[in-house]
Amino acid sequence: MNFFENELQKRINPEISRNFKSYFWIENLSYLEEIYFQIESFFSFRPIKISIVGTNGKGSIAYFLSQLFYKEGYNVGLYTSPHLRNYRERILINLQQPTEEFLSNEYKDFLRFISNFKFKKNIFDQLTFFELLTIFSIFLFYKMNLKIHIYEAGLGGRLDATKIVNPDVVILTTIRLDHTKILGNLYSKILTEKLGILSKNTKKLLVLEPRLKNQIELYLEKHQIKTALYFYPNHQKKNIDYIENLKQASIFCYKNIIDKEPPSIELIPPLGRREIHKINNQYYCFDIAHNPSGVYFFLLSLKETFKDLDKENSNIFLAILKDRNYKHFFRLFNLTKLREIFEKPYILGFPEFAETKHYQYRIVNFNTIDEFKNWNHNKKYIILCGSSRLYEFYYKLTQNENIEKGSI
C-alpha cells in the first residue's frame, strides 16, 4: 500500500459503513473552504469549474463531458465517486488514471502546502475518506493548471465537499427518491439539497429534467441567485436507451457551457455502465444502477439491446445495501412493465448487503465463481445490478477469477 492510499485507509469512510448522517459536519466543510481559499489564492490560474449533482447519471455525464473537452484540446481534471476497483479511478487527468507513485508524491506536496497555514490539525485528522480525496484532487487540478475541472457530487449538494469550489457551471441530472434519511423523503426536499451547491459564482445551471422548471425558478428567486438557465429538451422517458440519452445530454451540456458545437467523437461510457461480456454463448450484464429508477432504465435498455431477452432465458441478481428500502425495488417487478419481461430477481445475500430475513424474494449466495456459473448454466442472460460493490464480483466472474468464500 502506497503512502497516499495508506492515508486514505485511515479515514472514516461512510461509503463503506453507510452511516452518512453523522458525517455531515459543518465544521469539516468550513475547514475545507479555508483550505480551498488558500489554494485559489496561491494559484493564479482560473479554471472553468463544473459541478454535477442529481440522483442518477452524474458519473456518466461527467465522463462524457471530459471526453468532449479533451478532444477539443482542453486539459481536463475529472473527480468522481465511488470507485469500482481502485480509488485512482476517482481522479482522472486528461482521461488517464495517475500512478500510485505520482499521487503519493503530490500528496506530500499538498501536506507541505497546507503546513504553511494555521489550520486546526485535529480537524484535518477527522476528514473522511471522501473529504480528503476531494480537497487533494482540487489542489492537484489547480497545481497542474488544468483548464476544465469537473466534480461529481458525492451525496446531495448543499453539504457536499465538492461544493467548496463555488462552481461556474452546475449540471442537475435527475431527482429521484434516494438517500431519503439524509436528503429528505420528498422530491422538493431532495431538489433543495441538490441545488444547495449553487453559489453566487454560478453563471450557468443546466437542467436535464424540464419538469423541474417551476420549482427551480422559485428556488433561484428565493435565494437571490442570478444564473442562466438551460433545460435539456429530451428527457429519459423519450428514449429508453439510457446510455444514448446520457450521451446526448452531455453534448447538450457541452454546447451550452462553451457556446460551440462539440467535436466529432465516439463517446465511451465509464466503467460499470451497461457492461456486457459474452462468454460461451452467455451474456453477463452489469450496471452500477443502485436505486429503483436506475435499475428500471438499465433493464429496459437491455431489453432494447437484446430483443429475445425474456423471463425464460434470463436471471437477475440484485444487491441491495443496508440503507436502502428494498420494497421500492420489488415494486419494479410488481407494478411496472418489467413484470412482463423479467422474472423476479434473486437477492444476493452477501454480508455487506441488507439483512435478507426481511425479503419476500429468493435469497441466494455463492461461495465460488464456478458455483455461480453452474447455477446459471441454462440461462442466456445473467444480469447483475443494485450496487457498485457488486462490480468486483462481476469483474472476477468475467475474468475467470475466483472469489473468497462467503464474500465479494
The answer to whether 322 and 389 have CB atoms below 8 angstroms apart is no
The answer to whether 252 and 46 have CB atoms below 8 angstroms apart is no
Tell me which CATH code domain 275-398 carries: 3.90.190.20
The answer to whether 37 and 119 have CB atoms below 8 angstroms apart is no
Rounding to the nearest 10 degrees, give the CA dihedral for residues 138, 129, 250, 270: 120
> Dihedrals φ, ψ of 119, to 5°?
-100, 155
**Cα separation of 49 and 327, whole Å?**
38
Domain definitions of the chain by residue range: 3-258, 275-398
| Residue 178 predicted with pLDDT over 70 | no
**Cα separation of 147 and 141, whole Å?**
9
Q: What is the CA radius of gyration of the chain?
A: 21
| pTM confidence score | 0.92
- Omega of the bond leading into 263 within 30 degrees of 0 (cis): no
| Residue 402 predicted with pLDDT over 60 | no
Q: Express as a percent the part of the chain with pLDDT over 90.
A: 69
Per-residue model confidence as pLDDT tens digits over 288-327? 998 899 999 999 999 999 999 999 999 999 988 877 777 7
Helix residue ranges per DSSP H, 115-153: 121-126, 129-143
Lowest mean pLDDT among 88-92, 333-337, 353-357, 394-398: 353-357
Q: Cβ–Cβ contacts within 10 Å for residue 45, how many? A: 12
Domain range 3-258, its CATH number among 2.60.40.10, 3.40.50.2020, 1.10.132.50, 3.40.1190.10: 3.40.1190.10
